[in-house]
Structure formats: structure tokens, C-alpha cells
Amino acid sequence: MITLGVIIGILLLAGGVGAAVKSTSNDDKVATARPPSSESTTTTEPGSSSTASPSTQPSTTTAPTTPPGSVAPVSPLYVPPVTTQPIVPQPLNLSPAVISAMVNPAVVDIDTRLAYQNAIAAGTGMVLTSTGVVLTNNHVIDGATTIGAVSIGNGRSYSAHVLGVDPSEDVAVIQLEGASGLRTINAAGTVVKRGDPVVAIGNAGGVGGPPTVTTGVVQAVDQSIIASDPAAGTSEQLDGLIATSAALHPGDSGGPLVNGSGQVIGMDTAASVPGQSAVTVSFAIPIQRALDIARQIQAGQASSTIRLGLPPFLGVQVAPGSGAGGRSGALVSAVVAGGPAAAAGILAGSLIVSINGQPVDSGPGLTTLLRQFRPGDSVTVTWIGPAANARSARVTLGTGPAD
């Protein structure tokens, strides 16, 4: 198993700082009740995967450069280099230019606004239906309060809303509003093998326009990684992934990984970017696995991991850990002005101890309880104020950012 330091691929433009992941600020999550993040260093388990030898280095189009005066994207976080094994790559059946021309019309550039983080993000998506159902990574839209997309096929801009997400698989499905007649991806049903040539296509740099094309080779299949999200302070194990030498740039997440015949075999999701003398290893979710999840979302089938629509919004940020002053609960470190919690009189420094009589043991526990409800639901919140006074109030939950 390869331990991955961070899921990469979206570009943030916030406060003069660009980021390849999400903002790593400790106070950027206020949607429902998420704790602030704390970065951790991870290591690679030796002998866990096979990658390309230096003789099979991938080729790539040049990543977009940032014009003077604009914000440059930050490189992906590093993880230790991965052990490599020699590989004999197979040739592409078609040229990268031909493959790109075949796939690009079914690609969209995704742009999101994260109002509670004062940030703008950009990533990539793939069109699944002519009416604008789009597949992307969950981390591309995580925290978004507004989502838009530009079709590479017709050049039109669309507003979009979230149909559902599966954070445990890093999959999200959005709907472009008012879309029709869009080109859709051609998903491969063939078996992916080590040595197969691949092409990664995406919105490198988050600048939009013609997608960037990167070539490489399949290093290994059925790979497992631990992918960390420092902004949310969480990590997920992703299994069954395709490992390739096609280098990913910030903004490529959610884009198609394509075989030598122009068929989509995966969704680009993560990357290990090693030191100066080693190769890059990128990871893609097999397209059929992602499509299975997308079909469940389209059918309105929620599960223990699939969440439909947008989450409820309480409007607090909570500190890490559980409780304060010997009491269990979620310690509020910040309150969103004008949000439901603020309207109820909850202040920073308060300790939320129950929702509808169900005890809250921690910040994550509060998030879990809130996910039982829908936006617009009325719940009873009980908390202990900064002055140690116990209070309860009925609160109507708002609509939160994507999660």
C-alpha cells in the first residue's frame, strides 16, 4: 500500500495564496461542524507498488504558466519516493493529439466559490449524460458554496448543483443546469494492465481553456493508498486504484485517464510527487467503479457512504478534540455571522452538548449527528455558553457548502 500525503488537484486562489489542494488554514471549515485541520507527515511502505523505470519517463504538454500579477498554484505536497521496477510500455494506438480531440468535448472545467473560506477553486469533470450530469472528485467541490462549469465541447458556461457525493471513494456527481446536447465520455469496459499506455487530460493550473495532455504508462493496478485532506483534518483509504506515470498538475483532479484507443479508463484523483531523481506516481479511480457510484447517486440511493444533495448547515466551526472543562461536547471556536447558530445566540467559546437530545461528544460527533438531518429541518440545540450558562433553542438548519 502506498501512503499518500495529500489528495491533489484543485487550485485555490485565496488571500493571495494558491494551493494545489484546498486551503490548509486551520479556520477554513465552517460549513457544518468540522474541526480545524492539523497536517501530519506520512511515509511510504517499502515495496508497496511498481512504478516506471527512468527509461519510461512520461511526456507532457507544458503546464500553463501564470501571468505576471496573478496568483500561482502551489505544487502538490511531497511524499517519499516510491520503489520503481522496470517496465516495457506499449505504444499508443492513437497519437495524444487525436486522443485529446476525441475526449475533450466530454470534459468540463469546474469552477467553485468557497464563500466561507474566501476562496476560488478549479478542477475538472467528465460529462456522463447529454443533459449535463458530470462526474468529478469529491475534493474538487468540497466546501463549495457556488459551482459552475464550462463545457470544452461547446464553450458554454453553466451553473451547477450537487446531486450527491461519496467522500469515502472521492467521488462526486453534479448537474449542469439547463444543459442539453452535450457529448459524453466513452468509458472502457476492458481490463487495464501494467504497461498499458495512458493519457491524462485535465484543467492544469485551473486556468481553463484547452485541457492539458500528459502521457504515461500504467505502473500497477488494484492499488491502495491513504489519502489525507489536511483542510478537513481527515484521511481516507482508497482501494483498487490505477497507478500511472502520467504526471498530474493542480487542477487535473476529476479529469479522465484515457487508454491508447481514446477510451476513459479512470478518473484522476491523487499523486505522489517525489524528489528530484525519482518518477511521479499518479492514481486514478477505475471508471467503472466511479460510474457505479454515480448511478446510485443519480437513482437517489443514499447509503452509509453516499450522501445526496447538500448537507445541513449549523454555521459553527469547532475545535479539535472532545469537550472542555471536563464536559463532553463540541467546543465552538467560531460562529458564522448571520448563520443559524448565530441567530440562536450560540457564541464562540460555547460547548454544544446535544442535538434533539442526542449527546454530542466531540466536533466530529456533532458533524455526524447533523448529517441525520436535511437543510430546513428544525432541531433543538443545547449548549453551555462561555459564562457556563446552559441554554437550548430551536434552530432551523440552513443549506451548507458541498462536503
Which CATH number is 18's domain given?
2.40.10.120
**HSE toward the beta carbon, residue 242, CA cutoff 13 A:** 33
Let me know if residue 59 belongs to a domain.
yes
Let me know if residue 62 belongs to a domain.
yes
Residue tagged active-site, from 28, 142, 166, 170: 170
Tell me the average pLDDT across 225-229.
Answer: 72
**HSE toward the beta carbon, residue 320, CA cutoff 13 A:** 10
Residue tagged active-site, from 23, 37, 235, 253: 253
50 annotated active-site? no
**HSE toward the beta carbon, residue 371, CA cutoff 13 A:** 20
Let me know if residue 155 belongs to a domain.
yes
Residues 289 and 328 in one domain: no
Let me know if residue 214 belongs to a domain.
yes
Let me know if residue 25 belongs to a domain.
yes
pLDDT tens sequence across 172-209 = 999 999 999 999 999 999 899 999 999 999 999 888 88
Let me know if residue 280 belongs to a domain.
yes
Q: Which residue, 245, 271, 298, sits at the end of a domain?
A: 298
pLDDT band at 83 (very low <50, low <70, confident <90, very high): low
Which CATH number is 389's domain given?
2.30.42.10
Residues 281 and 387 in one domain: no
Residue with the larger pLDDT of the pair 52 and 292: 292
Contacts 24+ apart (CB under 8 A), 276-280: 277/81, 278/81, 278/82, 278/84, 279/51, 279/52, 279/54, 279/57, 279/58, 279/82, 279/84, 279/245, 280/58, 280/245, 280/247, 280/248
Let me know if residue 303 belongs to a domain.
no
Residue tagged active-site, from 37, 109, 139, 362: 139
pLDDT at 107: 98
170 annotated active-site? yes
pTM of structure? 0.80
**Total domain count, the chain:** 2
Tell me the average pLDDT across 252-258.
Answer: 95
Q: Give the range of the structural domain holding residue 320, as residue numbers without chain letter.
A: 310-399
pLDDT at 387: 86
Q: Using alpha carbons only, how large is the chain's radius of gyration in Å? A: 21
pLDDT tens sequence across 27-82 = 333 334 433 333 332 222 222 333 333 333 444 444 544 443 332 222 222 333 45
Read off the amino acid at residue 33: A
Mean per-residue pLDDT over the chain, rounded:
79
253 annotated active-site? yes
